[in-house]
Chain A
């Protein structure tokens, strides 16, 4: 009884409260990759575990398209990976997760107030890139007094940010774990995002992005999310989850959601609208569509000089970010002589696997981080 009680208290202590960091106050605004200036910038972030005296045990967790700063603790989107004794062991490591700029969960984004107009930015918010997201994170890391991160880790768009760290701040990371991601968005990936964006912009409530204070473009955003969810699953995982089963509470309408899979997509879409801003969806999908870490450089040079260790993970049934894209990352690392490990996890969950196959990921990540952290402390394997 007592043990359980203590465990609960410990868990509660580990759970982080959301914190905010504001920087780039005018006239020292952050210059975005587009050349536009943005400031002041607020980042929402959470931390788990304790930063050690040498400040050498910090891990930055990078979220995907619809994620937020609440990665660990109850209802955290990567709770199965973050916590005492877990893959990102908060007894050993200081874990940080921040909401990206352009987001809508406490960090600056299109729904934030534009200081110049005292109204929400809406579509006047500047276009942002994955590079901008990472530049903002670097400022947060400065603020926390951390010179070098033990690791940056993330899946999907989080993986793109990890790759961006490898290129933008190679000297500030000791290891990187890009999961289920790509060096650049492909036409297929852009196409799916474009359908989502069109759904939002076709909603009459979108009003060219200036809908704050009135009805939000809920239908459009829900459809965008439904398309997203299809691409996150696999043929096999959908068949297993829904089959051709019919809903018990089907609506008395010819084209109502009859099949369970339809009901699920509706549920997912409607739920998403409650927590996500349609304009953020537009801005963030644009940022990942523009993502191309090569940016004119060739594969062999992109990571040259990188001293960090890299662990690349992909999933067999992920058709949105297929394994060949992770193998391209591995190839670029090998060509640059970067100390790299690659594993393709056998999973039927599709792209969602990076959030679901945490048992397999834990095994790899735990040992990899051990090696990375021992290498720093001079411990011989």
Chain B
């Protein structure tokens, strides 16, 4: 695959992942990102995907993938069994995002989350001026045929992480294939985060 065709969000994710890392992609779709991770990072990858046609496309690329519903959990994986678990464009589509993220954080040392920012400026304008549910580049679906079950913004996710003691180690925001530096909650179409379990600082026992 040529560098030029790599999506901006995939480029950012690739940069975050170390060489030779082990990666589990939840909702891996056609396996585009998995193939990149193998080629660019020599990563040990596994993918989970619900759609049968997507599984066929993954197998056609020589990828090892499982047809599975993430909502049933990841009980067959031990804690911290992957360096990274990826939930890219998946979290807003699962029935129980809270449970999915909890499971991802359990089996992965780090979790990369990517989702469309529902409260991006053009969406806000559509709601305000048209009085209709927004249809944007990052959220291209009509209300009656959207695979998205949950709608969240960047501020929502940050607040959620705080509430759940999830540490945000890194983040990136994208609008029209380039990085957004200012007011991401207003301008970004896509938010990307590297999350990890909050390390709880325990007081060292005083030396006797």
Contacts and interface: CB of A to CB of B under 8 A. Distances in A.
Contacts of A367: 59-62
Interface of B: 38, 52, 55-56, 58-68, 76-77
A309 B67 contact: no
B68 A342 contact: yes
A341 B56 contact: no
B61 A381 contact: yes
A344 B56 CA distance: 10
Nearest to A341: B64
B59 A368 contact: yes
Given A344-B52, A363-B56, A334 B62 contact: no
B111 to A, nearest CB: 19
Nearest to B61: A381
Given A341-B65, A363-B59, A381-B62, 7 more contacts: A330-B66, A334-B66, A341-B55, A341-B64, A341-B66, A363-B56, A364-B56
A301 interface: no
A107 to B, nearest CB: 34
Contacts of B38: 381
A370 B67 contact: no
Given A343-B56, A345-B52, A335 B76 contact: yes
A340 interface: yes
A340 to B, nearest CB: 6
B115 to A, nearest CB: 26
Name the prevailing secondary structure of the B interface residues. mixed
25 contacts: A311-B59, A327-B68, A334-B66, A339-B64, A340-B64, A341-B55, A341-B58, A341-B63, A341-B65, A342-B66, A342-B68, A343-B52, A343-B55, A343-B56, A343-B59, A343-B67, A346-B52, A363-B59, A364-B59, A368-B59, A370-B62, A371-B62, A374-B62, A381-B38, A381-B62
Nearest to B63: A341
Interface residues of A, number: 24
Contact of A363 (B60, B62, B64): B60
A229 interface: no
B57 to A, nearest CB: 10
Contacts of B59: 311, 341, 343, 363-364, 367-368
A219 interface: no
Nearest to A316: B52
Interface string A342-360: 1111100000000000001
A340 B68 CA distance: 13
What are the 6 closest A-B residue pairs judged by CB atoms, nearest first? A371-B62, A381-B62, A342-B66, A331-B76, A367-B60, A334-B76
B190 to A, nearest CB: 29
Contacts of A327: 68
A343 B76 CA distance: 17
Contacts of A371: 62
A367 B68 CA distance: 20
A334 B65 CA distance: 11
Nearest to A310: B64
A344 to B, nearest CB: 5
Nearest to A372: B62
Interface in A293-321: 309, 311
Contacts of A364: 56, 59
Interface string A221-263: 0000000000000000000000000000000000000000000
A119 B68 CA distance: 53
A250 to B, nearest CB: 41
B181 to A, nearest CB: 37
A341 B62 CA distance: 10
A334 B77 contact: yes
B20 to A, nearest CB: 16
A344 B52 CA distance: 7
B141 to A, nearest CB: 23
Contacts of B67: 342-344
Given A331-B76, A364-B56, A381-B38, A340 B66 contact: yes
A363 B59 CA distance: 8
Interface string A130-165: 000000000000000000000000000000000000
Contacts of A342: 65-68
Contacts of B76: 331, 334-335
A102 B146 CA distance: 55
A318 to B, nearest CB: 14
Contacts of A311: 59
Contacts of B55: 341, 343
A360 B59 CA distance: 12
A352 to B, nearest CB: 19
